[in-house]
């Protein structure tokens, strides 16, 4: 009993209650909530670290060295009796798995890789620790084990099938190995090619230098000088052919060669081949036969330049590799094409030459290929001719095949489907034979050169090229005036008082004003007669795009260096004919 501030009494009552059961319930509830939260966190961690691609997932406790099986063969594993995840000893589970499921050849290495202390050590410096092995469960399969650290005491491990990845890696490895082998073969081929080219280029160079020295010491012997000049000419042409092959192959590989369609007479193409090779075959006492009887439609749409190149390579090879007294047969036949208005044309070049071995036939169309045989090694060449031919045939959507037998001969067959053009053929006004005769004529005779009396402006910055061209043109009866650069040429044409030049031969690459710029300036002259003077490009850039560039700049034609007199005369004749018909 107590009193308040007024002195009245206060009664205080109290009682004791045992709340232990309530606290126990609260504690157990809290523990359950924490356990559920832990399981949820673990599940989220498992989901974040190892995705559904893992068929088997385990939590590894590094303190008590146990594992919790979270996923087995794609299904969650749960102990039905106590509702908790099944717990196993890590070492025992690891040994059992290795002995029962892992390929024998991988067991020792896998055991070391998956030891607890090794995993802990690896994850000290790595975010992820992986190793691959082969499983023998359900057949031999490739698996990968991936370990991640979740926290200080726990590591998560996942196992997944990587057959698809391994197969892809093996495929990529095979591709890389094949590419490496191909690169090694190409490297060896190029090395062999460079060795051959070194020999082949030096051979004509040595001849040119040697016969030049002989001629220089035999100035009084006209016959000997003539023989030397003939041999120098042959060697120079061979050297130019070698260089052209290398440049052409480089252009094809870089995709710069394009097919330009035009109306072509196949009979004229074959006739041209006959004119080109009959003397060469005659010197080797060979029989050279041409057969076009099976052509019904001679005029077609094709790239005449590329078609000629293909046929020249085939016929040239046949003559080259056929011994004296042999026979070369060139036959063109026509059959129905797969499309209306088209014909399938087959070009066959058959010889009785030395033939090829089966091994070399497999690589005949590969760049830099040359057969190593005593009968072949003496024949000069780049090993590029048939590779160029094959590429050109491919560009024309055709096919080329070869059959051959050692010491019995070879046959190359080119098949092209070409659109037929049935208009009447027209003959050229001036034949190549006529041009040749006019060039070789005696200037004092009644036959006059096509250049006789022409006034020609020669624009060339190289002194040696200028001298050579001036001598050639003058020998054909032309009056030649020189200009050392494009700006000088423009000035000379502009100030010409007595009419204009009959023709300008224009170099392209010059230091101050190149040939294109000089041509453009001449075409803009106020005097129309001067502005329209015929201009022929003379350039060491000898490809189709160079010709297009010359025509686009306003030039009338394009002639490649080194200048071939017959080609130049033919170009001049064409310009004269075109201008006279206007």
Nearest to 285 by CA among 329, 315, 323, 324: 324
C-beta of residue 561 within 8 angstroms of C-beta of residue 458: no
Q: What is the 3-state secondary structure (H, E, C) of 89-139?
A: EHHHHHHHHHHHHECHHHHHHHHHHCCHHHHHHHCCCCCCEEEEEEECCCC
Range in 34-38, 427-431, 449-453 the model is least confident about: 427-431
> How many CB atoms sit inside 10 A of residue 498's CB?
5
d(CA 199, CA 208): 14
CA dist list (Å): 254 to 187, 247, 291, 386: 18, 11, 36, 18
Q: Is the dihedral of CA 415, 421, 423, 428 positive or negative?
A: negative
Task: Indicate left, alpha or beta for 34 from its phi (over 0: left) and psi (-120 to 50: alpha).
Answer: alpha
pLDDT given at position 444: 43
DSSP 8-state symbol, 477: T
119-132 confidence digits (pLDDT tens): 999 988 888 898 89
pLDDT given at position 484: 93
pLDDT given at position 140: 87
d(CA 479, CA 494): 19
Collapse the DSSP code of 315 into the 3-class scheme (helix H, G, I; strand E, B; otherwise coil) and give the result. helix
Stated pTM of the model:
0.45
Per-residue pLDDT for 372 more than 80? no
Q: Over range 232-257, report the average pLDDT.
A: 71
d(CA 512, CA 580): 34
DSSP 8-state symbol, 288: E
CA dihedral 347, 352, 353, 354 (to 10 degrees): 120
pLDDT given at position 40: 55
All domains of the chain in start order, with CATH: 20-161 (3.30.450), 167-253 (1.10.287.130), 262-420 (3.30.565.10), 440-580 (3.40.50.2300)
d(CA 132, CA 114): 11
Nearest to 268 by CA among 39, 425, 159, 55: 425
Per-residue pLDDT for 549 more than 90? no
Nearest to 157 by CA among 130, 133, 136: 130
Nearest to 290 by CA among 313, 307, 269: 269
Phi and psi at residue 431, to the nearest 5°: -80, 160
Q: Over range 71-93, report the average pLDDT.
A: 59
C-beta of residue 564 within 8 angstroms of C-beta of residue 278: no
256-278 confidence digits (pLDDT tens): 677 888 899 998 888 888 877 88
H or E stretch covering 154: strand 154-161
Per-residue pLDDT for 438 more than 50? no
Q: At which residue do the structure tokens 């979270």 appear?
A: 70
Q: How many residues does the chain have?
A: 582
Instruction: Assign 41 a pLDDT band (cuts: 50, 70, 90).
Output: low
Task: Indicate left, alpha or beta for 356 from its phi (over 0: left) and psi (-120 to 50: alpha).
Answer: beta
Strand pairing class (154-161; 141-149): antiparallel
pLDDT given at position 84: 45
C-beta of residue 510 within 8 angstroms of C-beta of residue 532: no
């Amino acid at each position: 009993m107590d009193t308040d501030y007024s002195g009245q009494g206060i009664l205080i009552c109290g009682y004791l209650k045992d709340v232990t059961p309530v606290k126990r319930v609260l504690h157990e509830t809290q523990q359950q909530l924490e356990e559920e939260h832990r399981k949820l966190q673990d599940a989220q961690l498992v989901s974040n670290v190892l995705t559904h691609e893992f068929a088997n997932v385990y939590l590894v406790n590094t303190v008590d060295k146990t594992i919790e099986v979270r996923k087995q063969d794609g299904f969650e594993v749960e102990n039905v009796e106590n509702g908790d995840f099944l717990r196993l000893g890590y070492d025992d589970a690891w040994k059992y798995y290795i002995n029962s499921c892992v390929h024998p050849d991988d067991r020792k290495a896998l055991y070391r890789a998956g030891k607890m202390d090794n995993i802990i050590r690896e994850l000290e410096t790595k975010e992820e620790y992986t190793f691959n092995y082969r499983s023998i469960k359900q057949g031999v399969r490739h698996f990968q084990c991936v370990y991640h650290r979740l926290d200080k005491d726990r590591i998560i491990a996942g196992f997944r099938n990587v057959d698809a990845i391994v197969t892809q890696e093996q495929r990529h490895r095979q591709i890389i190995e094949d590419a490496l082998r191909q690169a090694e073969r190409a490297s060896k081929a190029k090395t062999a090619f460079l060795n051959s080219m070194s020999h082949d280029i030096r051979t004509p160079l040595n001849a040119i230098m040697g016969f030049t020295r002989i001629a220089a010491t035999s100035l009084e012997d006209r016959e000997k000088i003539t023989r030397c000049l003939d041999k120098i000419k042959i060697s120079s042409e061979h050297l130019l052919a070698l260089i052209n092959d290398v440049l052409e192959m480089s252009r094809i590989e870089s995709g710069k060669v394009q097919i330009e369609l035009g109306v072509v007479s196949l009979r004229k193409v074959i006739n041209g081949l006959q004119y080109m090779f009959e003397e060469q075959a005659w010197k080797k006492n060979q029989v050279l036969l041409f057969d076009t009887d099976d052509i019904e439609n001679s005029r077609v749409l094709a790239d005449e330049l590329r078609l000629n190149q293909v046929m020249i390579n085939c016929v040239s090879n046949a003559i080259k590799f056929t011994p004296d007294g042999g026979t070369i047969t060139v036959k063109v036949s026509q059959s129905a094409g797969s499309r209306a208005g088209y014909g399938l044309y087959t070009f066959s070049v058959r010889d009785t030459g030395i033939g090829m071995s089966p091994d070399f036939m497999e690589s005949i169309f590969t760049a830099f290929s040359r057969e190593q045989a005593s009968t072949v090694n003496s024949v000069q060449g780049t090993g590029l001719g048939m590779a160029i031919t094959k590429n050109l045939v491919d560009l024309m959507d055709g096919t080329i095949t070869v059959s051959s037998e050692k010491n019995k001969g070879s046959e190359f067959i080119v098949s092209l489907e070409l659109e037929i053009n049935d208009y009447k053929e027209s003959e050229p006004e001036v034949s190549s034979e006529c041009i040749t005769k006019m060039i070789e004529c005696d200037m004092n005779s009644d036959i006059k050169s096509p250049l006789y009396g022409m006034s020609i402006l020669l624009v060339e910055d190289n002194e040696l090229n200028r001298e050579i061209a001036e001598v050639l043109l003058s020998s054909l009866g032309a009056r030649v005036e020189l200009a050392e650069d494009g700006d000088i040429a423009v000035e000379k044409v502009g100030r010409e008082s007595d009419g204009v030049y009959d023709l300008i031969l224009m170099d392209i690459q010059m230091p101050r004003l190149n040939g294109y710029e000089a041509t453009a300036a001449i075409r803009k002259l106020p005097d129309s007669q001067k502005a329209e003077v015929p201009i022929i490009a003379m350039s060491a850039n000898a490809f189709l795009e160079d010709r297009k560039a010359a025509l686009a700049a306003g030039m009338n034609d394009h002639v490649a260096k080194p200048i071939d007199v017959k080609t130049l005369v033919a170009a001049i004749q064409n310009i004269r004919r075109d201008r006279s018909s206007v």
